[in-house]
Structure 1
Amino acid sequence: MIKIETINEAGKQLAETIRQENLLFDGEAIVFIGALGICVRKILPLVNDKHTDPAVVCVDSTGKFVIPVLSGHVGGANELARQIARITGGTAVITTQSDNTGLWPLDTIGRQYGWQTCQLSHDDMNHAIATFVNRRPTALVCEVEDEGTEHLKSSCPSHVTLFNSYEDFLSYRNNNDTPTPELLLIVSPHRYDIRGTRFIQYFPPCLNLGMGCQKDAPADIARKILEGVSAAGFAIESIRSVATIALKKDEAALHTLHALLPWAKVEIYSAGALGKISVPNPSDKVFEVTGCYGVAEAAALAACHDGALVVEKQKDCISTADKTDFSTTDRTILPKADKAVYFTWALGEDNKGCRKGHIEIVGAGPGDPDLVSVRGRKFLERADLILYAGSLVPKELTFCAKAGATVRSSAGMDLEEQFLLMKEFYDKGKLVVRLHTGDPCIYGAIQEQMAFFDEYGMDYHITPGISSFLAAAAELRSQFTIPEKCQTIILTRGEGRTPVPDKEKLHLLAQHQSTMCIFLSASIVDEVMNELLAGGYPPETPIAACYKLTWKEQRIYRGQLKDLANILKENDLTLTTMIVVGEAIDNRHGLSKLYDGHFTHLFRKGKQ
């Protein structure tokens, strides 16, 4: 919640402007509009401890300077000041060292990425931060792959050495020829006995605990389960969810687990859903009772989103006493009898949390190296192998590869050779980037590769790119959808060596008179032109032949449809030429309803 205060008339309009922006802030904050000295005197009674003080930001009444006064780093006042400065057009005056040096905020970065941070005293945390901001040798161990570790790896300061496992760090530290790190930062769901190095550990929420138990099992089994998780070397702080079958949703042990892990989500699954999951330790007896072959393992797998079990079913028991029994003859109280109550648990790790190989299919954009997406560039910078389509993708796109990365062109390699190379790196737990031109999902030839990845159960994802048809619109300075003229864009190709379905023949698509972007068809331009004319496009329809869009060699030729074949032949346009057809080219006559005077919701308040 943000409270905004002002002490004079001059600041009231500024205060209202800030309120209307609906600032995003997680916590308590006070924005004071007025002189800094007055602000300091007014907040003096609030000052207690930097870990509990509210964020306080002071803005002068003109909005020129925005100053975090209290709890700037831990409480978030620094970021709030930046947000307000963007609104007022002013300057955020930040004095926190880690913020000004661009170094990671070690005490708050866990909160930013949803990680829990190990419990350290304020002094220990401050010493660790001082070591880091003073650029002393630091080790970073990332044992998961998520948004946070992706950021850390891509923004590693020069005094930080990166490791993929704690074991690699230990080998490095024990090598007398290397500098001894004075600080260890570790992001891992594993619990290590770390000695001899000052450290901060972050626990990413990537583990999913599945549990099963006998009916009316005592609540105490919850603690035994967590003891088992710890004994297996995992941190309970990384448990993202506790999962079980609907039959057990009211068990006291489940509710106790949730109480002990208040940050974890409870996942309840039906017997039908769990029965579809193959488990490594199936039990016919469990199936008779529950309808699935393993509650703990199936529930953990269901919750971990295509991840894997890291601890298979563990069966344990706890002793309990029967209710007091009486003799049926003389009502004599008999001794309580102990009995064993059995329970099971298993642990799964999210797909994104698993440290394993990954293949990212990245769209390189139409050609200009600056037109790859920010996400795509980050993958290129982190990749252990970049396999790029050498005949279509500029090699300059690979120049951002990290030291030691392997960069190969797929030109001259058949599909099997490409796959074997990617699998070699994948099987070693490496990151592979398969770099395709444009957007890989449009004539990108990734279907066959994905079939291989699916067959071998490999983890992969697609980062979209800017398609050449979008680059054509930009370079032609044309809007391809014109109000009341054309509201459809057709992406297609002529029928060359690759057959086209009968219902998608060019003369049929031409009947729509839409903006048409034709890929991979310059070599059959005569057939393309005749099909378009036969379909109904007037001979005078505007066309554009776009060669190597956004490359240094880019050339664009405009004309009319009746001259299309001559334009391509006279200018020797063959490969990497897009043909654009339609009235949208260079059209400035359509008026978007967005700026129609009847749409008064776009006008400022009070205007007609």
Structure 2
Amino acid sequence: MNISIISFTTKGAKLSKILFNRLDNYEVKCFSKKKAYEGIYYVGDSLTEWVRKEFKKHHAIIFIGACGIAVRVIAPSLKNKLVDSAVINIDENGEFVIPLLSGHYGGANELAVFIAAKIRAIPVITTATDVSDKFAIDIFAKKNNLFIGNKYGIAQVSAKVLDGQPITMSIEKGHSFFIDEHEISIKNTIIQLKKFPPTETVDVIIADSRNPFLLNNQINASLYLYPKKYVIGIGCKKGKKAHEIEQHIIKVLEQEKIDIEDCIAITSVDIKKDEEGIIEFSEKYNIPFKTYDVETLRKQKGDFEESEFVKETIGVGNVCETSALAYVNSEFFGEKNNSEIICHKVANNGVTVAIIQRDWRINIDD
């Protein structure tokens, strides 16, 4: 997660530097509306315009100051809870850490609790399922790398949870440890697992968006969750622009009839970790960008189309396929891996793309 911290006073700037040093597991940048602070970026734009740019990059934002400032300047950038950036407010004394936006799916609640522990502050969490210690379906979806097909369904499921009612869930066969119908309790919430496909309307369906029962409208549910099961491997010449990379990736996805919302990661070799075009594409679509060293790529097994030039330059002849495989293989620890390359290397104008369909499994017991 990339975090941008904005402060407005000397006291706030000092706190932002403390956070910078203590959030060492994140990519953090500190900003201010004043020019006098060393190591802190000056914001020359209006705050509203600065927020718009940060939202476009899907960066989490921490405001140090009054909540009112944050509320006013983020308002024009708001779209919906599934795409809005996580926003947190901290008072200048560092006593309270308040997640204002995207508490669950954007991760603001979890980040607020983490920050509070780092600076010995009090996290102020107001999300209904959290304060009631109930199961939150959007957190469950995020942890399981699921794309939410209909965001209005979250409210319907959460309403039942908050009323103390059980919720019903059906998971596509082969992707859960539960085979038969089963009932479990998570965070004071009863979840009744139903066979797939369900013969009745259920609260939650988890299935591949291409599942024939879904395509034929044979399943009724309040909320549809789809696995993000595709990994996009990328190789490119240095300095390729984001629009060139995007154009090629989108074309390949369209040819394979894959929605970009179903993609879980973008991968490449580690010498591309600072490639601005890939980073910009990753931020635009809010898909994590992962890189791997050459030795890891060499260990991947498969029949790859290699480039002698690339091999001589960096030490491995195929980046897009091997990096995507590296991502998939890192997820499995002794389990059977049914993932496969569904689109081998496709090159165009200095950009290579490959797509791997990863096996997916739902963890429902935590």
Q: TM-score, normalised by structure 1?
A: 0.32
Q: Which has the higher contact order (CA 8 A, sep 6+)?
A: 2
Q: Which has the larger radius of gyration?
A: 1
TM-score by length of 2: 0.49
